[in-house]
């Protein structure tokens, strides 16, 4: 019998791709998550009894917790904590970070008890949701891997104090303590980019236990556009949570100050209502907000956009940038998006400094006045990103786990 791996994530992120990689390598023992859509099993099979219009309305958001290639027999779901967490969030019992921390810690305690009854060799957990699980796995003599999707927490804390980002929620001491112990307990740390690795090394995490495994995009959904926009309307696209950390206030300010004729900005994703309230209440016709779009329909937005802009303050590796590039759309991003090894300045798009409204305006104007560059850079982007698929991610993940296990023996 070969290596067996247990994965635990209180949400989803890219954990389903990790689980699928291990399924492909016959190494997956169990995948724990909060909610997972199993169409043929109770209670989800009851949806078939509903009218088509209602059935589809309920099913659409469930698809964000569904991945057809993953065998449901490996998936164990525990939705209660997420449901309670959403209720706490709605009632504003805590700040958002504290609510997420509450969900993560409760879920983690549940998983740590489950681990005692399982046969496995390796445990993979995610930041702020794996301290108790790591502690239990270590007592059982198991190998622990921390999958870190974003920069080291100390980078975020220093960033908030140094840049005076009052709109970013500070990290509490109990969360810092928890994350510190998780990093210390981890035998390996998986990160998606050199940017994240740098933040770890700068925080005195041993470089020897850090492995870079870049994320990917779904090349069955996101494919190059066949034609480029030949209409008068110039479209700027943002996809992701419309929150301060993603640089949305700076993008909105830049776009509104430009006052471009025949131009619109489309924002796709959940939002901090405070950031977009004025534009919604004033019914600004040049700013369009779509709160929820299934990933299967996102390609249409990338195809219809002239440029994609993500001026994030910090990320791990922004998958939406890969998706935009795959659709042949040039990008304007910051170096903190984790794409420094992929996007080349002036070839697939441009980099702008964080929090720099004037720089965002300058690059948007460049594309607005040089439409031929949109097609040139867009085609470059589609070619450049081809190797960064989820297939490549899964292969790299398996190779890394197997090679590190051989070295540790």
227 within some domain? no
Question: What is the four-CA torsion angle of 81, 83, 85, 91, rounded to 10 degrees?
Answer: -150
Whether the pLDDT of residue 352 is over 90: the answer is: yes
Q: Do 238 and 203 fall within a single domain? A: no
Are 251 and 360 in contact, with CB atoms under 8 Å apart? yes
Residue 223 vs residue 86, higher pLDDT: 223
369 within some domain? yes
Compute the distance between CA of residue 9 and CA of residue 34 in angstroms, rounded to an integer.
Answer: 7
Q: Do 52 and 166 fall within a single domain? A: yes
- What is the pLDDT, as a whole number, of residue 271? 66
Query: What residue numbers bound the domain in which 329 lies?
Result: 234-387
Residue 286 vs residue 99, higher pLDDT: 286
User: What is the mean predicted confidence (pLDDT) over 235-250?
Assistant: 90
72: CATH? 3.40.50.2000
Q: Do 93 and 155 fall within a single domain? A: yes
Query: What total of structural domains would you count in the chain?
Result: 2
Q: Do 67 and 193 fall within a single domain? A: yes
Closest CA to 3 of 31, 32, 29: 29
203 within some domain? yes
- What is the pLDDT, as a whole number, of residue 14? 94
Q: Give strand pairing partners of 82.
A: none
Q: What angle do CA 307, 262, 221 make, to 5 degrees?
A: 35
Whether the pLDDT of residue 407 is over 90: the answer is: no
321 within some domain? yes
Q: What is the pTM of this model?
A: 0.89
Q: Which range in 54-68, 165-179, 263-277, 355-369 is most confidently predicted, on average pLDDT?
A: 355-369
Helix, strand, coil in percent for the chain, rounding step 5: 50, 15, 35
265 within some domain? yes
- What is the pLDDT, as a whole number, of residue 92? 62
Q: What average pLDDT is seen over the chain?
A: 88
Whether the pLDDT of residue 109 is over 80: the answer is: yes
- What is the pLDDT, as a whole number, of residue 74? 95
Whether the pLDDT of residue 281 is over 60: the answer is: no
Q: Do 379 and 395 fall within a single domain? A: no
Whether the pLDDT of residue 1 is over 60: the answer is: no
Q: Do 128 and 158 fall within a single domain? A: yes
User: What is the mean predicted confidence (pLDDT) over 16-21?
Assistant: 96
């Amino acid at each position: 019998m070969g290596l067996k791996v247990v994965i635990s994530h209180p949400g989803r992120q890219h954990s389903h791709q990790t689980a699928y990689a291990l399924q492909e390598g016959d190494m997956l023992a169990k995948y724990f998550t909060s909610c997972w859509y199993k169409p043929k099993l109770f209670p989800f099979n009851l949806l078939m009894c509903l009218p088509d219009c209602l059935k589809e309305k309920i099913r659409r958001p469930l698809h964000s917790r569904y991945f057809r290639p993953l065998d449901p027999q490996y998936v164990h779901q525990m939705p209660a904590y997420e449901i309670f967490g959403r209720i706490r969030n709605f009632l504003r019992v805590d700040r958002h970070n504290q609510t997420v921390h509450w969900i993560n810690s409760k879920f983690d305690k549940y998983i740590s008890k489950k681990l005692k009854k399982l046969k496995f060799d390796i445990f993979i957990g995610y930041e702020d949701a794996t301290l108790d699980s790591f502690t239990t796995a270590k007592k059982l003599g198991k190998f622990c891997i921390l999958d870190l999707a974003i920069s080291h927490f100390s980078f975020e804390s220093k960033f908030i104090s140094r840049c005076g980002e009052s709109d970013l929620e500070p990290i509490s001491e109990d969360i810092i303590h928890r994350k510190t112990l998780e990093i210390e307990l981890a035998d390996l740390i998986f990160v998606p980019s050199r940017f994240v690795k740098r933040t770890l090394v700068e925080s005195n995490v041993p470089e020897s236990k850090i492995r870079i495994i870049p994320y990917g995009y779904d090349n069955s959904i996101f494919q190059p556009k066949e034609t480029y926009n030949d209409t008068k309307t110039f479209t700027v696209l943002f996809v992701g949570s419309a929150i301060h950390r993603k640089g949305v206030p700076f993008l909105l300010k830049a776009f509104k100050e430009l006052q471009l004729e025949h131009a619109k900005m489309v924002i796709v994703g959940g939002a901090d209502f405070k950031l977009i309230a004025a534009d919604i209440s004033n019914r600004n016709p040049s700013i369009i907000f779509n709160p929820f779009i299934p990933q299967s329909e996102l390609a249409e937005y990338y195809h219809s956009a002239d440029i994609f802009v993500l001026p994030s303050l910090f990320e791990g590796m922004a998958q939406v940038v890969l998706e935009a590039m795959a659709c042949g759309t040039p990008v304007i991003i910051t170096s903190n998006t984790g794409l420094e090894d992929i996007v080349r300045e002036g070839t697939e798009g441009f980099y702008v400094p964080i929090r720099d409204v004037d720089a965002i305006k300058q690059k948007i104007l460049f594309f607005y006045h040089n439409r031929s560059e949109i097609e040139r850079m867009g085609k470059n982007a589609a070619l450049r990103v081809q190797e960064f698929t989820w297939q490549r991610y899964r292969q790299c993940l398996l190779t890394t786990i197997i090679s590190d296990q051989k070295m540790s023996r």
